[in-house]
């Protein structure tokens, strides 16, 4: 019998998701495991794969439509049912078809199964970020005619903006013959354009506002002298196939410090303080649609080279929107590094339900006093944001001291 395809709960506690694109057409044969549609979560793009073989009988949601989790988005025909069977299935299930769904076929008596008798070719998939798809639809651009400059040729926001740049700001309309001023018809006439919020941007706004409003933040800073670290990094990279970044050292030092001070590897809940057994480090990565934090699991058990490779691979897939939910959900501690952008110091907002996040600035030449003498050293300022409910000041200071010691004596974090 026909099967209703419903919007899956692709992320924990999600109530809605966006059907970004159908990858098959009505009448296409579907095998088990085939990708039917792309679903946009608040963090990434997820493929909706078929659990049962059949034929895509009807699409009940349009591309770009936000749909409630559990609501029907399509119908999969298994035994050659007709369009009339689809209508009966929807009626008998009591399902409410989402607004804006495609209308039913005009010939309900014609079976759908024969449509697949001729080999059906799925349309070529166009890889584009969710924001690029929205902007292209808003500007009336055909993504198939654009060349992507993102990872693996993915179309990103700048590609869409470049394609429609000549017509981005239309000329102001002249005043009508009556002499009355012409009303402003769109935002562009006011000197700006409005870009619809992505699911990711809405989620980021909600979570960060909730974090600042409900978590009692306090902050500790430490100036870390990283001359030895930079020298060790240069020595490693001189003969290594994979180049190690300063951020790789930071993530390793954070994980080892959490192993040394496990009381800081915690999260606050309403009923108990949750202490984690492993240091699962969430690393902030900037993408076209917002910030995402893929997680390096059990980083205290992994060598520096493995951490470096994992961060690079996770960051690349994050920017391509290809992370699985389990790769960015959870984590016990976050690291946000803006040093590569020349930022000397900043404080970060805690990512709930975690209890701490480390903000890392750039290494800068600064005067320091060593053995009573003023010398120039490479100094990196790190600021720890802490949830005072879970970690008090003395414990936070103990953890930060351990982290600083590891950065300043990097060989200690490698054993």
Active-site positions read: 388
Strand (E) or helix (H) holding 49: strand 45-49
Contact (CB, 8 A) for 387 and 356: yes
Question: DSSP string covering 170-204, please?
Answer: PPPPPPPTT-PPPPP-SGGGGT----PPPHHHHHH
Cα–Cα distances in angstroms (integers) from residue 297 to residues 128, 214, 330, 386, 400, in the given order: 28, 27, 10, 21, 21
CB 334 within 8 Å of CB 281: yes
Q: Tokens 């009381």 map to which residue?
A: 263
Q: Count of alpha carbons within 13 Å of 280, Cβ hemisphere only?
A: 19
Q: Is 112 helix (H, G, I), strand (E, B) or coil?
A: coil
Taking alpha carbons only, the member of 368, 387, 384 closest to residue 376 is: 368
Nearest-angstrom CA–CA distance, 112 and 378: 70
Closest CA to 211 of 17, 403, 389, 396: 389
């Amino acid at each position: 019998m026909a099967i209703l395809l419903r919007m899956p709960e692709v992320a924990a506690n999600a109530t809605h998701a966006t059907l970004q694109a159908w990858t098959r057409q009505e009448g296409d044969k579907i095998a088990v495991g085939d990708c039917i549609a792309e679903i946009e979560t608040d963090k990434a793009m997820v493929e909706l794969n078929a659990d049962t073989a059949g034929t895509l009988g009807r699409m009940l949601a349009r591309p770009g439509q936000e749909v409630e989790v559990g609501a029907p988005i399509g119908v999969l025909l298994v035994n050659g049912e007709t369009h009339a069977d689809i209508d009966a299935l929807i009626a008998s299930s009591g399902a409410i078809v989402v607004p804006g769904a495609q209308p039913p076929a005009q010939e309900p008596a014609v079976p759908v199964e024969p449509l697949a008798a001729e080999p059906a070719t799925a349309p070529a998939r166009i890889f584009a970020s969710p924001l690029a798809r929205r902007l292209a639809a808003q500007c009336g651009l055909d993504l198939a005619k654009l060349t992507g400059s993102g990872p693996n040729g993915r179309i990103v926001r700048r590609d869409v903006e470049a394609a429609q740049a000549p017509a981005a700001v239309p000329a102001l309309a002249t005043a009508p013959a009556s002499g009355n001023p012409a009303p402003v018809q769109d935002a562009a006439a006011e000197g700006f354009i409005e870009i619809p919020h992505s699911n990711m941007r809405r989620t980021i706004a909600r979570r960060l506002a909730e974090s600042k409003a409900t978590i009692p933040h306090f902050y500790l800073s430490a100036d870390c002298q990283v001359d030895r670290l930079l020298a060790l990094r240069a020595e490693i990279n001189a003969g290594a196939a994979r180049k190690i970044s300063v951020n790789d050292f930071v993530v390793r030092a954070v994980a080892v410090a959490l192993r040394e001070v496990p009381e800081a590897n915690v999260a606050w809940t309403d009923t108990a303080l949750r202490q984690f057994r492993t240091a699962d480090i969430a690393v902030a990565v900037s993408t076209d649609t917002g910030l995402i934090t893929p997680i390096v699991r059990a980083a205290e058990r992994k060598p520096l080279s493995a951490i470096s490779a994992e961060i690079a691979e996770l960051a690349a897939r994050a920017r391509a929107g290809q992370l699985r939910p389990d790769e960015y959900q959870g984590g016990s501690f976050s690291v946000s590094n803006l040093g590569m952008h020349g930022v000397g110091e900043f404080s970060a907002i805690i990512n709930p339900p975690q209890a701490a996040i480390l903000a890392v600035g750039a290494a800068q030449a600064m005067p320091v006093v060593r053995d009573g003498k003023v010398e120039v050293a490479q100094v990196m300022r790190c600021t720890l944001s802490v949830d005072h409910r879970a970690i008090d000041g003395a414990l936070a200071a103990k953890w930060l001291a351990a982290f600083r010691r590891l950065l300043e004596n990097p060989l200690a974090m490698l054993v």
